[in-house]
Amino acid sequence: MESHTTVAEPSSQGSVTLDNVEQLLEMPLLDLVFAAAAVHREHHDPGRVQCSQLLSIKTGGCPEDCGYCSQSAHHKTPVAREPLLDTASVLAEAATAKANGADRFCMGAAWRQAKSGEEFERVLEMVRGVKELGLEACATLGMVDEQQAKQLEQAGLDYYNHNLDTGRSHYSEVITTRTYDDRLETLDNVRKAGMKVCCGGILGLGEEQKGRAELLHELANLNPPPESVPINTLVQVEGTPFAKADPVEWTDLVRAVAAARILMPKSVVRLSAGRTEMDESAQAMCFLAGANSMFVGDELLTTPNPSPSSDASLLQKLGLNAVSTDE
């Protein structure tokens, strides 16, 4: 009988090479999933799935030119520019999210850089309110400097999301208004402030497999790796440069999830945007491969997400429990 290919977890920070990642992604799919499932069960309860809900607290008009984004002012999309929401409205949404089973509430603002002044103070008020509801709080506000990061931490923010989006060599094909190193600097500021990092990327931006390997390599070699790793598949939005991009094969998503689990064994790996294009079997394979978090709620910022009832049905079929990974 032939033996299955075995893989070793990273032994130390910085020990993951690009060749290591490429070899993982080239493994036979079922061997890769088998290996990832073993790593997952060593570090996590495979029956638990952490549920987050995401709200756009400031929509549209972003000066960045991210080629996939419906909120960029550079693209003609159906998304209208709206002001920052009031605190009471955000906290009402957070309370509803908690009632529907979410244990983390994420707030996203379409800014290049977090705004100082009254609007930033309002965001800090939102963070404090979310924490008072008994939820974990996460925010994505664009770039933050050291002082802003510290203010967010002092307000109680648990996670700051700032994705790398894609590999370094492909990055300029997707975004030109912010550098890769700008993103890494924000992540460094978040770490210095004492917050947890939420950082992942998007599949389907025209990248080759090497680009996906570069993204995973960069994430795995952050010091330490992100506590939360969202893996998105592109949602094509009319009016953006990637509106006609080829859809991502579900097997490629499973490969990315499995590789992320092996490379970052202690991180929470989240199924994020793009689940509306996946059937239940594909999502089940992702959970088997090591995904242990998902976004719930009907919408992710401005893109659709499966309904709460369909997610509840899926988790029930798979025997998974929507509970906090910190319990």
pLDDT digits (tens, 9 = 90+) for 16-73: 899 999 999 999 999 999 999 999 999 999 999 999 999 999 988 888 989 888 888 7
Q: What is the pLDDT of residue 3?
A: 43
Lowest-confidence segment of 109-118, 255-264, 285-294 by average pLDDT: 109-118
The yes-or-no answer on residue 255 being catalytic is: no
User: Quick one: pLDDT at residue 326?
Assistant: 46
Active-site residue identified among 51, 104, 122, 138:
138
Note if the bond before 224 is cis, omega within 30 degrees: yes
Which entry of 104, 178, 183, 198 is annotated as an active-site residue? 198
Q: Is 286 a catalytic residue?
A: no
Residue range 97-126: average pLDDT?
A: 92
Per the annotation, the verdict on 270 as an active-site residue is yes
Residue-wise pLDDT for 124-172, tens only, equals 999 999 999 999 999 999 999 999 999 999 999 999 999 999 999 999 9
Helix (H, G, I), strand (E, B) or coil at 294: strand
SS3 content of the chain, % helix, strand, coil (to 5): 40, 15, 45
Choose, from 51, 62, 199, 286, the residue flagged as catalytic. Answer: 62
Catalytic annotation, pick one of 51, 66, 199, 286:
66
Q: Where are the domains of the chain?
A: 30-37+44-322
DSSP, residue by residue, 208-272: -HHHHHHHHHHHHTSSSPPSEEEEEE----TTSTTTTPPPPPHHHHHHHHHHHHHHSTTSEEEE-
Cβ count near 22 (within 10 Å)? 17
Q: Is 51 an active-site residue? A: no
- Of the residues 255, 270, 275, 286, only one is catalytic, namely 270
- Rounded to whole angstroms, how far apart are CA atoms 292 and 91? 26
pLDDT tens, position by position, 192-220: 999 999 999 999 999 999 999 999 999 99
Q: For the chain, how long is the longest CA-to-CA vector?
A: 67
More reliable by pLDDT, 303 or 147: 147
Collapse the DSSP code of 67 into the 3-class scheme (helix H, G, I; strand E, B; otherwise coil) and give the result.
Answer: coil
Assigned architecture for domain 30-37+44-322: Alpha-Beta Barrel (3.20)
| Mean pLDDT, rounded, for 291-300 | 83
User: Model-level pTM?
Assistant: 0.92
**Catalytic, out of 51, 106, 199, 286:** 106
Catalytic residue, chosen from 69, 178, 183, 212, is 69
Other beta carbons less than 10 A from residue 86's beta carbon: 13
Active site residue 199: no
